[in-house]
Structure 1
Amino acid sequence: MFAIIKTGGKQVKVEPGQEIFIEKIKGEVNDKITFDEILMIDGQIGTPFVNGAKVLGTIIKQGKAKKIRVIRYHPKKNVNKIYGHRQPYTKVKIEEISAK
């Protein structure tokens, strides 16, 4: 059984037992979370969401991704600036997918 959920402005295909990286959500490690915005579950497409369906998960880790470098450079202007950014994420283990 699989489902497509909407979280953090993205669509993610999930299955029970799978670990996914999503945009940061509030919560501590080992907290239970429920995803209610289910776009599709086993071929049943929602309009826009499937009624009565939910996906249960557990937060495994709150962390930051690898650092990326953003360079601002203008030739002949003597402007060269380097910025760094680390995107926060949440690692979630999918426990159960249920539909009514």
Structure 2
Amino acid sequence: MNTYAIIETGGEQLRIEPGRFYNIRHFSSLKPKILNSTTKILIYRVLMIRHKTIINIGHPWLKNAVVKGRILHSHLENKIIIYKMNSKKKTRRKIGYRQNSARFVVDSICLGGKELYK
């Protein structure tokens, strides 16, 4: 595709394209119980947009740039296990957790009020 954007969300930067779906660890503004298949989201933390041969870079984010999408479903990631051991003290500690994640699909990328790609 000729159009893509780089966004910052969930503590990481993602290269996204319209029509594809992505997993994001958490949305800070939404609770996991609220995230369902009808929730529409707008992401304003857009670092860069490329449309055909034009590249727009923000400092740190682009003004008037929005990525529109919708939540497909929320789920739990695979369990992450943390194991700590002190060999001479004979202490062992094993803990783990599963992090909330949401899968969303990108509908469009907008810059300056115009949709670059639907």
Same-fold call, TM cutoff 0.5: yes
Listed as ranges, the gaps of 5+ residues in structure 2 are 113-118
Q: Which residue of 2 aligns with 1:74?
A: 86
**TM-score, normalised via structure 1 length:** 0.91
- Correspondence for 2:5: 3
2:26 maps to amino acid? K
Q: Deviation at 1:76?
A: 2.6
Report the alpha carbon displacement of residue 59 of structure 1 after superposing the two structures with TM: 0.8
Q: 1:38 aligns with which of 46, 57, 72?
A: 46
Equivalent pairs: percent with the same residue? 31
The aligned amino acid for 2:42 is T
- Cross-structure match for 1:28: 35
Q: Which residue among 83, 94, 97 is the counterpart of 1:85?
A: 97
Q: Is the 8 A contact 1:3 1:40 kept in 2?
A: yes
How many residue pairs align between the two structures? 100
* RMSD across aligned positions (CA): 1.2
> Are 1:24 and 1:62, in contact at CA under 8 Å, matched by a contact in 2?
no
Cα deviation digits, residues 39-95 of structure 1 (max 9, x gap): 101121012211111000101111111112211111132211211121211111111
Structure 2: which amino acid aligns with 1:85?
A: Y
Structure 1 gap segments, 5+ residues each: none
Question: Structure 2 counterpart of 1:52, which letter?
Answer: N
Deviation of 1:4 (Å)? 0.6
